[in-house]
Amino acid sequence: MPIPEYVQVHQVVVTVQQAENATNGEAPINLTSPRHEEEKTRLLSFLSRSNGKWDAHHPRHRLLDALHDYVRYEERQTAELGKWRRLYKSASAAQKKLLEREVGYTAKLDAVAALIAHNQRLCDAIVENGLRFYAVDRAELDDHIRLREADGKAADRVSVSQALKHYVRDWAAGGRGERDAAFPCILQALQSLFPDRLADGEPPQPAVKVLLPGSGVGRLGHEIAALSFEVTSNEWSMYMNLAYRYLEANPRVASSNAHPFIDNWSHHATTADMFRGVTFPDRAIDPFAVLLVEGDFTNAFTSTKNNRRQHFDVIVTHFFIDTARNLMAYLDTIHALLPVGGYWVNFGPLLYGTGPYVQLSLEEIVSVVFAMGFEFVDAPEVCGDLTFENQKIRGREAVYGFNERALVKNAYQAQAWVMRKTR
Ligand SMILES: C[S@@+](CC[C@H](N)C(=O)[O-])C[C@H]1O[C@@H](n2cnc3c(N)ncnc32)[C@H](O)[C@@H]1O
């Protein structure tokens, strides 16, 4: 049976230009940045095999693992699809006859296969860009894949799929609702903390420095940079970093496309919703507006090679603090990287992951950070209603779901605060 017409396989347009001025009303793109060049040198040295012990935690090993998983996206998704094909065989002949006649179920499975192949082309482009950006030979990646698979390690299906969904949250029109719940709170807080940062319409010297750990695929950092802050983002996940490096190299509006919802058969009102293509980015990206520093927040800025203690004017944590293995290490790092008078702006839930050293309630976090030397500053009203009568913490619903058309909602009562370091 032919693929139903609601399946539209869009072509992935991959551009390798990295620093060309955008046209057609898109934001102008800087041609270079000394701090980006300096960080790239540091990053390549950080990733070199000779940097520390070679094991699964080595950053280059994690990079090669993530590249392997992007390479095998189609294979892993197709294996999952094979499971659904086998299970369908268990329906009775009469049931299958009805399903084929009414919904073309086999054609639907075939259509998903075609869309998986389409997504693989984007994954291949992410891999090609990653090899180029991180100066990794294809032969090294092939060797890594061969050894890993010989070791019985299958590529991870979920992490790549999650990274593709993060493109929706951050860079597609469909993620706007998720962004609109959080960004105005953070952006207004920053603007009211630094109302004079624009002297005569020019960025001041030195610039107000904002650090954004756990930046995902990076949209918030670009929104903050657009308000004339100097933004450094930080991300540990190589899946996210590969996805972000691809965006830096493909910054034009609507230059890429994926079908991010085909790996989940639940919660779709229509099959077209499940199959729909998502185009991104929805605004032009200046790759030099934000500096991405890769690595673990708790040591990326405190090592002797990259000591940024008391360096940042503001740290913005957006859906981040609850990702900590050790929440206290995150708090210590926030404290260490801010000077006295520096600010911490938080927006997000308290969803502790697997194996956290400590799990604190909101009121416990407040007493700990007060004891460390922070005090509350007013958070803007757009951050929501006061959570406690006597504390300047605000809470509002914030969706973290990637799919605005899904018949399910994954939302948090995200907690927002602005704190000043007093000692
Ligand atoms: C819940 S996600 C939120 C991402 C992004 N802020 C957003 O709201 O879309 C948390 C992010 O923090 C990153 N992360 C977790 N632990 C980290 C660490 N120790 N250092 C830097 N990033 C980390 C994860 O890889 C993930 O991308």
Q: What is the mean pLDDT of residues 53-75?
A: 97
> Tens digits of per-residue pLDDT, 216-253?
999 999 999 999 999 999 999 999 999 999 999 999 99
Closest C-alpha to ligand 1, atom 19: 296
Closest C-alpha to ligand 1, atom 13: 214
Query: Which residue among 167, 212, 235 has the greatest number of ligand 1 atoms within 8 angstroms of its CB, and so is best to mutate?
Result: 235
| Ligand 1 mean position, distance from CA 86 (Å) | 36
Q: What is the mean pLDDT of residues 326-332?
A: 98
> Tens digits of per-residue pLDDT, 289-320?
999 999 999 999 999 889 999 999 999 999 99
Instruction: With a cut of 80, say whether residue 170 has pLDDT above it.
Output: yes
Rounded-to-integer distance, Cα 64 and Cα 67, Å: 5
Percent of the chain with pLDDT over 90: 88
Give the number of residues written for the chain. 423
What the block records as the tokens of 415 is 């907690």
Instruction: With a cut of 50, say whether residue 17 has pLDDT above it.
Output: no
The residue type at 342: G
Q: What residues have CB less than 8 Å from 12, skipping those under 6 apart?
A: 118, 121, 122, 125, 256, 257, 258
| Ligand 1 mean position, distance from CA 320 (Å) | 5
| Ligand 1 contacts CB of residue 319 (under 6 A) | yes
Instruction: With a cut of 60, say whether residue 40 has pLDDT above it.
Output: yes
Instruction: With a cut of 90, say whether residue 323 has pLDDT above it.
Output: yes
324 CA: nearest ligand 1 atom: 16
Average pLDDT along the chain: 92
330 CA: nearest ligand 1 atom: 19
The secondary structure of the chain, three-state, reads CCCCCCCCCCCCCCCCCCCCCCCCCCCCCCCCCHHHHHHHHHHHHHCCCCCCCCCCCCHHHHHHHHHHHHHCHHHHHHHHHHHHHHHHCCCCHHHHHHHHHHCCHHHHHHHHHHHHHHHHHHHHHHHHHHHHHCCCCHHHHHHHHHHHHHCCCCCCCHHHHHHHHHHHHHHCHHHHHHHHHHHHHHHHHHHHHCCCCCECCECCCCCCEEEEECCCCCHHHHHHHCCCCEEEEEECCHHHHHHHHHHHHCCCCCCEEECCCCCCCCCCCCHHHHHCCEEECCCCCCCCCEEEEECCHHHHCCCCCCCCCCCCCEEEEECCHHHCCCHHHHHHHHHHHCCCCCEEEEEECCCCCCCCCCCCCHHHHHHHHHHHCEEEECCCHHHCEECCCCCCCEEEEEECCCCCCCCCCCEEEEEEEEEEECC
Instruction: With a cut of 50, say whether residue 422 has pLDDT above it.
Output: yes
Rounded-to-integer distance, Cα 226 and Cα 128, Å: 29
Instruction: With a cut of 90, say whether residue 196 has pLDDT above it.
Output: no
Domain ranges, ordered by start, for the chain: 36-421
Rounded-to-integer distance, Cα 334 and Cα 255, Å: 36
Q: Is residue 410 within 8 Å of residue 382, measured between CB atoms?
A: no
Q: What is the mean pLDDT of residues 124-131?
A: 98
166 CA: nearest ligand 1 atom: 9
| Ligand 1 mean position, distance from CA 275 (Å) | 27
2-16, 32-46, 81-95, 335-349 — which is least confidently predicted?
Answer: 2-16
CATH superfamily of 36-421: Vaccinia Virus protein VP39 (3.40.50.150)
| Ligand 1 contacts CB of residue 237 (under 6 A) | yes
| Ligand 1 contacts CB of residue 62 (under 6 A) | no
**pLDDT recorded at residue 24:** 46
Rounded-to-integer distance, Cα 410 and Cα 24, Å: 37
Query: Which residue among 223, 293, 323, 402 has the greatest number of ligand 1 atoms within 8 angstroms of its CB, and so is best to mutate?
Result: 323
297 CA: nearest ligand 1 atom: 20
Closest C-alpha to ligand 1, atom 5: 216
Percent of the chain with pLDDT over 70: 91
Rounded-to-integer distance, Cα 383 and Cα 186, Å: 8
Q: Is residue 235 within 8 Å of residue 163, measured between CB atoms?
A: no
Query: Which residue among 236, 238, 301, 351 has the greatest number of ligand 1 atoms within 8 angstroms of its CB, and so is best to mutate?
Result: 236
| Ligand 1 contacts CB of residue 320 (under 6 A) | yes
| Ligand 1 mean position, distance from CA 8 (Å) | 33
Closest C-alpha to ligand 1, atom 8: 319
The pLDDT confidence band at residue 30, using thresholds 50, 70 and 90, is low
The pLDDT confidence band at residue 8, using thresholds 50, 70 and 90, is very low
Instruction: With a cut of 50, say whether residue 275 has pLDDT above it.
Output: yes
Look-up: residue for tokens 């009775």?
92
Instruction: With a cut of 80, say whether residue 25 has pLDDT above it.
Output: no
End-to-end CA distance of the chain: 70
> Tens digits of per-residue pLDDT, 375-408?
999 999 999 999 999 899 999 999 999 999 999 9
Q: What residues have CB less than 8 Å from 153, skipping those under 6 apart?
A: none
**pLDDT recorded at residue 32:** 74
| Ligand 1 mean position, distance from CA 221 (Å) | 13
Look-up: residue for tokens 């793109």?
29
